[in-house]
């Protein structure tokens, strides 16, 4: 079997790692392999945005399954291209990917179908947006509707901040065309939970819930990032809560997408907030989360490939179950100096071989590149995700941190408090 993964970050490295375990004999390919993927997959010299060229390459090379990692090619219609050529591909169509690419689409879908989410209004006129902010008063969240690499959301404490956020997005175009429309919503309170669900468009197969750390600083301080770490499982996500999430959110959303003519096949990622009134949707993504994938997949004992292949072929996953390893996983993201602001690339990384050999530690590469002589250097803001497995989250976090400390490069920074909420809950400081 020949499998192509589109994308070259930490999430895609984790997907390749899992696919290799599921199918040791498969031939794996990846668009522009990063510095950790050589040896695992053959690098295809195409960028993830070259959707027509990727579809052409997959056809020429008789690829049996293509898995799309990032949201941008999904939003541009890569899956529609593949389907036109009759090529099996895992991911939603362009129309279905709107659930992530347009917050206005996602919010109005939830409203029409009674799916719990924060109260909101959509605006494309800034005067009307400002009038609404003044009318509502108090804490609000102002969001650019389009794709903004996880940065288009401004959580505001008061009216003045919310007015400034509207001005920044709609007048100063802080997020470009993504901010032509804004969604203004009620500010919810509670812990967040990331829930992935595999879906064939009708059946949903929820995966192990995870929590990520979006802020750059310890104790959830400083600006938002793509994600500085994650862990799973989460004790708050009891079987009762997960049954509720499935019944009130996942199934109704997949049914709503089908009913409106945008059948969603692939991976639905529900970003939830566990509010005093129950779980509510913060946002949907049309793909696996990064870095949550780097903790969820290492705990998956059963095959990921089997349900992915069924979904890509348009078959049903009814009756499929997933089996999880006992214990926990935590991942620490090592970032470039300056990230999430400006940072330099091409910085030499010292990744000692004995760290790579540490038991129950897996190092997923994100923004790395390898020179011809094998030297490893940075190539992005998030550089590595160091995952560790252990019986408890506290122990996994400790092991991940210990491995992270031993990997060095100029400007390296990472959070040393991954999983702190869970550790405080369990009271089991390792």
- Provide the minimum distance between the beta carbon of 150 and ligand GLY in the complex, in angstroms, as a whole number: 5
285 is a site residue for ligand GLY (CB under 6 A): yes
Of 279 and 307, nearer to ligand AMP (C-beta) is: 279
Ranked by CB distance to ligand GLY, the top (closest) residue is 289
Of 293 and 336, nearer to ligand GLY (C-beta) is: 293
Of 10 and 307, nearer to ligand GLY (C-beta) is: 10
Cα–Cα distance for residue pair 384/37, rounded to 1 Å: 12
Structure tokens at 114: 């009674």
Cα–Cα distance for residue pair 44/289, rounded to 1 Å: 23
150 is a site residue for ligand GLY (CB under 6 A): yes
- Provide the minimum distance between the beta carbon of 189 and ligand AMP in the complex, in angstroms, as a whole number: 7
Of 55 and 178, nearer to ligand GLY (C-beta) is: 178
- Provide the minimum distance between the beta carbon of 210 and ligand GLY in the complex, in angstroms, as a whole number: 9
Interhelix angle 94-101/103-113, nearest 10 degrees:
90
Of 65 and 104, nearer to ligand AMP (C-beta) is: 104
Q: Choosing among ligand AMP, ligand GLY, none, which partner's interface includes residue 212 (Cβ < 5 to 8 Å by kind)?
A: ligand GLY
Cα–Cα distance for residue pair 284/298, rounded to 1 Å: 23
212 is a site residue for ligand GLY (CB under 6 A): yes
Total residues in contact with ligand GLY, by rule CB under 6 A: 7
- Provide the minimum distance between the beta carbon of 118 and ligand AMP in the complex, in angstroms, as a whole number: 4
- Provide the minimum distance between the beta carbon of 294 and ligand GLY in the complex, in angstroms, as a whole number: 10
227 is a site residue for ligand GLY (CB under 6 A): yes
Of 214 and 280, nearer to ligand GLY (C-beta) is: 214
- Provide the minimum distance between the beta carbon of 65 and ligand AMP in the complex, in angstroms, as a whole number: 29
Of 187 and 413, nearer to ligand AMP (C-beta) is: 187
Residue numbers at the binding site for ligand AMP (CB under 6 A): 118, 141, 150, 153, 155, 185, 187-188, 192, 214, 271, 282-283
- Provide the minimum distance between the beta carbon of 226 and ligand AMP in the complex, in angstroms, as a whole number: 10
Of residues 36-65, those binding ligand GLY (CB under 6 A)? none
Query: In this chain, which of 290, 336, 369, 393 binds ligand GLY, going by CB under 6 A?
Result: 290
289 is a site residue for ligand GLY (CB under 6 A): yes
Ranked by CB distance to ligand AMP, the top (closest) residue is 283
Max distance between CA atoms of the chain, in angstroms, equals: 62
Phi, psi of 251 (to 5 degrees): -65, -45
- Provide the minimum distance between the beta carbon of 303 and ligand GLY in the complex, in angstroms, as a whole number: 23
Do the Cβ atoms of 338 and 411 come closer than 8 Å?
A: yes
Three-state SS for the chain is CEEEEECCCHHHHHHHHHHHHHCCCCEEEEECCCCCCCCCCEEECCCCCCHHHHHHHHHHCCCCEEEECCHHHHHHCHHHHHHHCCCCEECCCHHHHHHHHCHHHHHHHHHHHCCCECCEEEECCHHHHHHHHHHHCCCEEEEECCCCCCCCEEEECCHHHHHHHHHHHHHCCCCHHHHCCEEEEECCCCEEEEEEEEECCCCEEECCCEEECCEEECCCEEEECCCCEEEECCCCCCHHHHHHHHHHHHHHHHHHHHHCCCCCCEEEEEEEEEECCEEEEEEEECCCCCCCHHHHHHHECCCCHHHHHHHHCCCCCCCCCCCECCCEEEEEEEECCCCCCCCCCCCECECCHHHHCCCCEEEEECCEEECCCCCEEECCCEEEEEEEEECCHHHHHHHHHHHHHCCECCCCECCCCCCHHHHHHHCCCC
> Which range, of 47-55, 163-171, 287-295, 391-399, touches ligand GLY by CB under 6 A?
287-295
Q: Choosing among ligand GLY, ligand AMP, none, which partner's interface includes residue 155 (Cβ < 5 to 8 Å by kind)?
A: ligand AMP
Q: Choosing among ligand AMP, ligand GLY, none, which partner's interface includes residue 351 (Cβ < 5 to 8 Å by kind)?
A: none
- Provide the minimum distance between the beta carbon of 230 and ligand GLY in the complex, in angstroms, as a whole number: 7
Of 296 and 308, nearer to ligand GLY (C-beta) is: 296
Q: Choosing among ligand GLY, ligand AMP, none, which partner's interface includes residue 285 (Cβ < 5 to 8 Å by kind)?
A: ligand GLY
Q: Using CB under 6 A as the criterion, which residues of the chain lie in contact with ligand GLY when the complex forms?
A: 150, 212, 227, 285, 289-290, 292
């Amino acid at each position: 079997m020949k499998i192509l993964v589109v994308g070259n970050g930490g999430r895609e490295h984790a997907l390749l790692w899992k696919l290799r375990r599921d199918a040791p004999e498969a031939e794996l390919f990846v668009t522009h392999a990063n510095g950790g993927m050589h040896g695992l997959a053959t690098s295809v010299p195409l960028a993830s945005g070259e959707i027509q060229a990727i579809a052409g390459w997959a056809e020429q090379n008789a690829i049996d399954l293509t898995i799309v990692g990032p949201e941008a090619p999904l939003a541009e219609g890569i899956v529609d291209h593949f389907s036109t050529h009759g090529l099996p591909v895992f991911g939603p169509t362009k129309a279905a990917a709107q659930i992530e690419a347009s917050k206005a689409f996602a919010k109005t879908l939830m409203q029409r179908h009674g799916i719990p989410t924060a109260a909101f209004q959509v605006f494309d006129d800034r005067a009307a947006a400002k009038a609404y902010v003044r009318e509502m008063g108090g804490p609000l969240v102002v969001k650019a509707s389009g794709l903004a690499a996880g940065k288009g959301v401004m959580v505001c404490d008061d009216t003045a901040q919310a007015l400034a956020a509207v001005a920044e997005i709609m007048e100063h175009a802080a997020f470009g065309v993504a901010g032509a429309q804004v969604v203004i919503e009620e500010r919810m309170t509670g812990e967040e939970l990331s829930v992935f669900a595999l879906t064939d468009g009708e059946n949903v197969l929820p995966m192990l819930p995870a929590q990520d750390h979006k802020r750059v600083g310890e104790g959830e301080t400083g600006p938002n990032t793509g994600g500085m770490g994650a862990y799973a499982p989460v004790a708050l996500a009891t079987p009762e809560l997960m049954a509720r999430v499935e019944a009130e959110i996942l199934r109704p959303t997949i049914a709503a997408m089908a009913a409106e003519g945008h059948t969603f096949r692939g991976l639905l990622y529900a970003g939830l907030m566990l509010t005093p009134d129950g779980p509510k949707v913060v946002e949907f993504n049309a793909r696996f989360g990064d870095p949550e994938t780097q903790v969820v997949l290492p705990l998956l004992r059963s095959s990921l490939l089997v349900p992915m292949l069924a979904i890509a072929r348009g078959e049903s996953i009814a009756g499929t179950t997933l089996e999880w390893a006992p214990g926990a996983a935590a991942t620490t993201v090592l970032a470039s100096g300056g990230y999430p602001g400006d940072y330099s690339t091409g910085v030499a990384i010292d990744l000692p071989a004995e760290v790579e050999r540490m038991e129950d530690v897996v190092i997923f590469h994100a923004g790395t590149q390898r020179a011809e002589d094998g030297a490893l250097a940075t190539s992005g803001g998030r550089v590595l995700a160091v995952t560790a497995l252990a019986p408890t989250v506290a122990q996994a976090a400790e092991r991940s941190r210990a491995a992270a400390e031993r990997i060095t490069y100029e400007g390296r920074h990472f959070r040393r408090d991954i999983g702190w909420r869970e550790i405080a809950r369990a009271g089991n400081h390792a």
